[in-house]
């Protein structure tokens, strides 16, 4: 069973973008979890992980931004193929290697995503990366059971994607991008810049001692 989850701050945006894509991709036995909050994506996502971790039939969990729309008719097939590799912990559509901060795009980019601002395109295909962008995070059953978004070191809505990817890699697992068609209906920007800087500093403090 492939499950879907979203942290919803804007219900209208979720209904316009994420929900139609979920309906396109989901299967008859899929679970769809929505957590409404304007406080912390870390807490919201952990609530979803805690609910799904006991499920023996879980094949993968898709965590979407409310403005990310799945448009790939082979979505679940592609997920199963990639998550069938036992060491893959996190899958996304765009990301990078040589990541030293939350600004992952300053590293060596891989993957592709269509955004309202234009196409973000690096090297296409399937590639191992340090982190993927959190516009869509696909977590393996192992990740759902064993890892959690670090709500002690971080808060708000920045850094959750890089940190969970670095946790997975620190445990000897892989983070990958692959060609999966989604559209990110984003306005761009950092949002609360002070909050971004605080999370970036927390990321450096946590991972720099381990060679980041």
Residue spans per domain, the chain? 2-210
Compute the residue count for the chain. Answer: 212
Q: Where are the beta strands (DSSP E) in the chain?
A: 2-8, 32-36, 60-64, 68-70, 88-92, 94-97, 108-115, 118-121, 127-128, 131-132, 136-139, 174-177, 182-184
Query: What is the rounded average pLDDT of the residues 34-54?
Result: 96
- Looking at residue 211, its pLDDT comes to 65
Q: Distance between CA atoms of 97 and 115, rounded to whole angstroms?
A: 21
- Give the tokens for residue 177: 């991008």
- Looking at residue 187, its pLDDT comes to 79
Rounded to two decimals, the pTM is: 0.96
Q: Distance between CA atoms of 3 and 27, rounded to whole angstroms?
A: 9
> What SS3 state is found at 103?
coil
Q: CATH homologous superfamily for 2-210?
A: Spore Coat Polysaccharide Biosynthesis Protein SpsA; Chain A (3.90.550.10)
Q: What are the backbone angles phi and psi of residue 178, rounded to the nearest 5°?
A: -150, 165
Cβ-proximal residues to 194 (8 Å cutoff; 6+ apart), any chain: none
Phi/psi class of residue 125: alpha, beta or left (left: φ > 0; alpha: ψ in -120 to 50)?
left
Span 70-102, pLDDT tens digits: 999 999 999 999 999 989 999 999 999 999 999
- Looking at residue 190, its pLDDT comes to 67
- Looking at residue 178, its pLDDT comes to 98
Span 146-173, pLDDT tens digits: 999 999 999 899 999 999 999 999 999 9
Instruction: Say what percent of the chain tops pLDDT 90.
Output: 90
Span 118-148, pLDDT tens digits: 999 999 999 999 999 999 999 999 999 999 9
Q: Is the pLDDT of residue 204 over 80?
A: yes
Between 191 and 80, the higher pLDDT residue:
80
Burial of 123 (0-12, 13-18, 19+ CB in 10 A): exposed
CA quadruple 211, 177, 49, 85: dihedral positive or negative?
Answer: negative
Q: Is the pLDDT of residue 2 over 80?
A: yes
Q: Is the pLDDT of residue 191 over 80?
A: no
- Residue-averaged pLDDT of the chain: 95
| Candidate from 29-33, 62-66, 188-192, 200-204 with smallest mean pLDDT | 188-192
Q: Distance between CA atoms of 92 and 95, rounded to whole angstroms?
A: 7
By DSSP bridging, strand 174-177 and strand 127-128 are: antiparallel
Span 96-123, pLDDT tens digits: 999 999 999 999 999 999 999 899 999 9
- Give the tokens for residue 124: 């296409």
> What SS3 state is found at 96?
strand
The vertex-59 CA angle with 32 and 69, nearest 5°, equals 45
């Amino acid at each position: 069973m492939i499950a879907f989850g979203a942290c919803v701050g804007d219900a209208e945006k979720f209904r316009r973008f994420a929900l139609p894509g979920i309906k396109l991709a989901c299967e008859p036995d899929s679970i769809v979890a929505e957590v409404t909050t304007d406080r912390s994506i870390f807490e919201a996502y952990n609530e979803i992980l805690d609910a799904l971790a006991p499920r023996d039939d879980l094949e993968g969990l898709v965590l979407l931004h409310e403005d990310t729309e799945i448009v790939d008719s082979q979505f679940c097939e592609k997920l199963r193929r990639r998550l069938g590799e036992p060491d893959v912990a996190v899958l996304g559509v765009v990301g990078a290697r040589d990541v030293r901060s939350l600004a992952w795009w300053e590293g060596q980019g891989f993957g592709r995503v269509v955004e309202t601002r234009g196409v973000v395109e690096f090297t296409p295909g399937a590639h191992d990366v340090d982190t993927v962008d959190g516009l869509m995070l696909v977590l393996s059953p192992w990740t759902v059971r064993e890892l959690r978004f670090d709500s002690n070191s971080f808060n708000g809505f920045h850094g959750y994607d890089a940190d969970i990817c670095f946790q997975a890699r620190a445990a000897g697992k892989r983070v990958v991008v692959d060609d999966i068609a989604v559209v990110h209906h984003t306005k761009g920007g950092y949002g609360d810049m002070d909050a971004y800087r605080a999370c970036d500093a927390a990321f450096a403090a946590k991972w720099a001692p381990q060679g980041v």
